[in-house]
Each structure stands twice: as C-alpha cells, then as structure tokens.
Amino acid sequence: MKKIPYELKLYVAGATPKSLEAFANLKMICNEHLKGQYSIKVIDLLKNPKLAKGDQIVAIPTLVRRLPEPIKKIIGDLSNKERVLVGLDLVGKG
C-alpha cells in the first residue's frame, strides 16, 4: 500500500461560494503538483463546530497541511496559486 505523503484538511462553513472555490482551487493544485500523493478531508464547521478547536481554526476557509510535518495553515479561497504552493512547500528555491 502506497503511503500518502500530503494529508490536507480544508475547513469550511457550509457550501458557500468561497468554500467551493477554495476546494476547486485546492483540487486543481493537488492534481497538478501532487498527482496521487495526497488526501483531502473537507470539514464543515457548520455540521461539526467542535472540530475547529483541534487545529485552532480562526478563519474560514482554512487549509491545514497535517503531513508532512511541520503543520502549515493557509487561510482564504486558495486562489493565489503561488502562495498556496509556497505554503505547502511545493516550490523550491530558484
């Protein structure tokens, strides 16, 4: 069984346009840069508000990279691709 090196959680509050855009942007970036090496779990805080405490979520949408460590967070709709790539450590120097 192949290990999935990127464990991602996307915290949203319902199916708002911003939440849907964040998920679409994340899928596009993962399909382009992590081909089959990631898992995405979408957590709707309207359904499970207590789950926000575990990852200390203060804004929505928020992407949390659980693995590989260290844990990283990116807040927003993930439309700034370069910022997301840097936040996930997917771009090298140069």
**Can you spell out the DSSP letters for 29-83?**
HHHHHSTT-EEEEEEETTT-TTHHHHTT--SSSEEEEEESSSPEEEES----HHH
Give the model's pLDDT for residue 93.
Answer: 36
pLDDT in tens, 28-69: 999 999 988 999 999 999 999 999 998 899 999 999 999 999
Mean pLDDT of 21-30: 96
Mean pLDDT of 59-87: 94
What is the rounded CA–CA span in Å between residue 60 and residue 86? Answer: 20
3-class secondary structure, 31? helix
Domains and CATH numbers, the chain: 6-87 (3.40.30.10)
Give the model's pLDDT for residue 27.
Answer: 96
**What sign does the CA torsion over 68, 73, 76, 81 have?**
negative
